[in-house]
Copies of this chain bind each other. A is one copy, B any other.
Amino acid sequence: MPEIERKFKVETLPRDLLGPGSEIRQGYLSLEPVEIRLRARDDARELTVKSLGGLRRVEVALPLTPEQFDELWPLVTAFVEKSRHLVELADAVAEVDVYGGTLSELIVVEVEFASEEEAASFAPPDWFGEEITEDNRFRNAALALAGKPPA
């Protein structure tokens, strides 16, 4: 099921909006032609296989034990760390990702919609910056590999 999402940079984060976040660490065992990702989110661990293109997109997530995750993590060639915060908007829930490590100072917000119409009529709050929905340089795999795009 394809996700309908819009994605924006955040230049000035309204920190009072943010409750406690989830700590996410995700790294890549393969980037192409199939993306194979390890992800630790708080206490949960998983391996996800994602196809990148093609008519029918595939995504399968497999749970990992902490031991399996720790055994596989050294095989990762590129990774990102971020904390994820949910923010209630008037008509949607935003996911704010505050990146850490070499990407620190990068903040991105994503909003998911139920339909194309809903996505089109969405009015971003003031604190949303430049829209980057179509900018592949802000995909996690690209950030992990190439770092933060120049402003």
> Given the known A-B contacts A30-B34, A30-B36, A36-B36, are A75 and B51 also in contact in the complex, defined by CB atoms under 8 Å?
yes
Task: List the number of copies, as a whole number.
Answer: 2
The docked-state distance in angstroms from the alpha carbon of A60 to that of B38 is: 13
> Given the known A-B contacts A60-B68, A68-B60, are A75 and B29 also in contact in the complex, defined by CB atoms under 8 Å?
no
A62–B62 contact, CB under 8 A?
Answer: yes
A49–B34 contact, CB under 8 A?
Answer: no
In the complex, which range does the number of interface residues on chain A fall in? 10 to 19
Can you report 27 A-B residue pairs in the complex whose CB atoms are below 8 A from each other?
A29-B30, A29-B34, A29-B36, A29-B49, A30-B30, A30-B34, A30-B36, A33-B75, A33-B77, A34-B36, A34-B75, A36-B36, A47-B49, A47-B62, A49-B75, A51-B75, A58-B71, A58-B72, A58-B74, A58-B75, A60-B64, A60-B68, A60-B71, A60-B72, A62-B62, A62-B64, A62-B68
Beyond known contacts A58-B71, A60-B64: 15 more, CB 8 A cutoff:
A29-B34, A29-B49, A30-B34, A30-B36, A34-B36, A47-B47, A47-B49, A47-B62, A49-B75, A51-B75, A58-B72, A58-B74, A58-B75, A60-B71, A62-B64
